């Protein structure tokens, strides 16, 4: 069985070439082996920024060890923003509530 972890674009600072508000990244995590995959079909099949993956990947690895009661985590991509490269930062919102995570 696999868990589904969804990261949704919550905010944009400047313009991003890959993301717009509401876009999502969907990961599948095998509950037994902890193998992680990006579900491109559910991620709407568009190109995925490597900075976004680098931002969210640590979340997936450490999710089982959280002790906080927070409902969501927020991760910002490392892009320095519009003044540096004309692009912008993206903030992803990830649901931490295990009872709300989809399985399948």
Contact residues for 70 (Cβ-Cβ < 8 A; gap 6+): 96
Q: What does pLDDT average to over the chain?
A: 76
**pLDDT tens, position by position, 78-103:** 876 666 666 778 899 987 665 454 44
Q: What phi and psi values does residue 4 have, to the nearest 5 degrees?
A: -110, 125
**pLDDT tens, position by position, 3-13:** 788 889 999 88
């Amino acid at each position: 069985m696999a868990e589904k972890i969804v990261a949704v674009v919550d905010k944009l600072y400047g313009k991003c070439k890959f993301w717009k508000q509401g876009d999502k990244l969907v990961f599948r995590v095998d509950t037994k082996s902890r193998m992680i995959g990006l579900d491109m079909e559910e991620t709407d099949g568009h190109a995925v920024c490597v900075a976004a993956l680098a931002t969210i990947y640590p979340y997936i690895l450490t999710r089982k060890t959280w002790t906080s009661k927070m409902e969501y985590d927020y991760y910002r991509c490392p892009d320095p923003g519009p003044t540096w490269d004309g692009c912008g930062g993206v903030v992803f919102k990830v649901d931490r509530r295990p009872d709300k995570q989809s399985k399948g």
